[in-house]
Amino acid sequence: MFEIRRADERGHAEHGWLNSRHTFSFANYYDPKQMGFSDLLVINDDRVMPGRGFGKHPHRDVEIFSYVLEGALEHKDSMGTGSVITPGDVQLMSAGTGVVHSEFNHSSSETVHFLQIWLATEKSGATPRYQQQMFSPAEKRGKLRIIMSPDGADQSLELRQDARVYAGLFDGDERASLTLAAERFAYVHVARGSVMVNGHTLSEGDGMRVRGERSLDFANGHDAEVLVFDLRNIEVSDFWS
């Protein structure tokens, strides 16, 4: 079963320096029907003006990752990490017992466009950690490249949850399929462009809940960049309770 959530159905926050779209309930946007899906809690589609960003703030017991689409994002945290994330980089911060971090647009002249995504952690009270890795366009071109997994499979980042995250680029005749284990859920998010998934056309910002399917088939892409989440068979994590 496929349940599509169109881009214009998402929550919207406009703060001048920040233009943000919320797939699921977040901050001042609340919809009791959109409290996440399985262990996927947050997908925020953020555009931050030059030189601006999110000041120091704390998190604990959540897996947070940033996926930059355009520009450069500067990260600092209480673990002593300082880095700049550009398109192709995947940043994963496991907050564990607690971490304070900030995210700013690294540029003084260009907007940064990125996705910030949260997943519920399987291991509360763990030691905080930071991971970052570049996945080149060639690794994602016409295929679904695993970028996060519980065991770091195929040189992916290690996620503290029974979830797997894939990234893919699709254009023209490029096609790929992802097999799901029995009783698994999945979520598809189109970061840019458009693509057909099992006969359904999805455009930039669209998302799709997937239940009871064994295969996801991607085709007819038009400059498409997608993220796919292979998730536990639960409707909503108890993270917010």
Q: Can you give the CATH number for the domain in which 22 is found?
A: 2.60.120.10
> Based on the number of CB atoms within 10 Å of its own CB, is 182 exposed (0-12), middle (13-18) or buried (19 or more)?
exposed
10-residue block means of pLDDT along the chain (241 residues)?
98 96 96 97 98 92 96 92 93 95 93 97 94 97 98 97 98 97 97 98 98 97 98 92 71
* Angle formed at CA 236 by CA 232 and CA 241, multiple of 5 degrees: 130
Please check whether residue 93 lies inside any domain of the structure. yes
CB atoms under 10 Å from CB of 72, counted, come to 17
Please check whether residue 17 lies inside any domain of the structure. yes
Q: What is the pTM of this model?
A: 0.97
CA nearest to 18, candidates 42, 54, 43: 54
Please check whether residue 162 lies inside any domain of the structure. yes
β pairing state of 164-172 and 144-149:
antiparallel
> Based on the number of CB atoms within 10 Å of its own CB, is 215 exposed (0-12), middle (13-18) or buried (19 or more)?
exposed
Please check whether residue 207 lies inside any domain of the structure. yes
Looking up tokens 């990490």 gives 81
What is the enclosing helix (H) or strand (E) of 141? none
Per-residue model confidence (pLDDT) at position 123: 86
Q: Find all residues with CB under 8 Å of 12, minimum gap 6, and list them.
A: 20, 21, 22, 29
CA distance 125 to 240: 17
φ, ψ dihedrals at 197, nearest 5°: -125, 115
Q: Find all residues with CB under 8 Å of 194, minimum gap 6, and list them.
A: 201, 202, 203, 204, 221, 222, 223, 224
Q: Which residues pair with 46 in a beta bridge?
A: 20, 114
Could you tell me the residue range of the domain that residue 134 belongs to? Answer: 2-231
* Angle formed at CA 65 by CA 37 and CA 228, multiple of 5 degrees: 50
Please check whether residue 148 lies inside any domain of the structure. yes
Per-residue model confidence (pLDDT) at position 161: 98
Per-residue model confidence (pLDDT) at position 52: 95
Please check whether residue 239 lies inside any domain of the structure. no
Please check whether residue 236 lies inside any domain of the structure. no
- The residue type of 120 is A
- Helix (H, G, I), strand (E, B), or coil: what is residue 139? helix
Please check whether residue 237 lies inside any domain of the structure. no
Q: What total number of domains does the chain contain?
A: 1
CA distance 128 to 12: 30
Q: Find all residues with CB under 8 Å of 16, minimum gap 6, and list them.
A: 49
